[in-house]
């Protein structure tokens, strides 16, 4: 019996280590200029802001803006971890006439998302994704997932997992053709 317990503990440890390796290999360490959508036209989306107004991607890019899109939800721990970086980045660029930032709520309730936005004082555009159409079109598999879209409508960088301010600044420079 004593040896059986050791083997079970050893097997459990091997499984845990294997899962850790798989997770570590699947989490992005920075924005990718290559990925599922990088270099492709961003999927058109129509999402609904909290006040009921519609946000349409082509209207943002059509007016010459670089658009940062972040899929998130209120219960996601990595989303909460990246929030300070989003706040700092938005504060740096909120007055740039060629920039827009849209947070799209993914897999969350309206009440929880609204409570989070109110509690955290989120200042950028936040929208619901009726029918999860935008999330599906962008091929999201979790959250947070972020995409930088150039004014010509092409996705120039994307990241799965939390972003840092440095990641965001790099993505913006790429979109603006500064790299």
What share of the chain in percent tops pLDDT 70?
81
Q: Does the 30-175 domain belong in CATH 1.10.3210.10? A: no
CB environment 12-24: b (16+ within 10 A), e (fewer): eeeeeeeeeeeee
Give residue limits of the domains in the chain: 30-175
pLDDT at 38: 83
Q: How does residue 176 score in pLDDT terms, banded at 50, 70 and 90?
A: very high
Neighbours of 173 (CB within 10 A): 14
Q: Is the pLDDT of residue 27 over 60?
A: no
Q: Is the pLDDT of residue 124 over 90?
A: yes
Which one has a higher pLDDT value, 99 or 32?
99
pLDDT tens per residue across span 155-174:
999 999 999 999 999 999 99
Q: Is the pLDDT of residue 17 over 70?
A: no
């Amino acid at each position: 019996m004593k040896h059986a317990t050791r083997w079970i503990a050893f097997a459990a440890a091997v499984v845990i280590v294997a899962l850790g390796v798989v997770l570590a290999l699947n989490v992005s360490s920075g924005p990718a200029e290559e990925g599922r959508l990088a270099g492709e036209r961003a999927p058109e989306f129509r999402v609904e802001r909290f006040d009921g107004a519609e946000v349409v991607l082509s209207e943002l890019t059509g007016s010459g803006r670089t658009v940062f899109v972040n899929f998130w939800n209120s219960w996601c721990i990595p989303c909460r971890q990246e929030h300070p970086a989003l706040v700092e980045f938005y504060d740096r660029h909120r007055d740039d006439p060629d920039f827009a930032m849209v947070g799209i709520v993914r897999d969350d309730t309206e009440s929880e998302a609204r409570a989070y936005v109110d509690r955290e004082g989120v200042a950028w555009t936040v929208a619901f994704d009726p029918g999860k159409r935008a999330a599906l079109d962008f091929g999201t598999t979790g959250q947070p997932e972020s995409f930088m879209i150039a004014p010509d409508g092409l996705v120039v960088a994307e990241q799965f997992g939390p972003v840092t301010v440095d990641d965001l600044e790099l993505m913006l420079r790429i979109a603006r053709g500064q790299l």
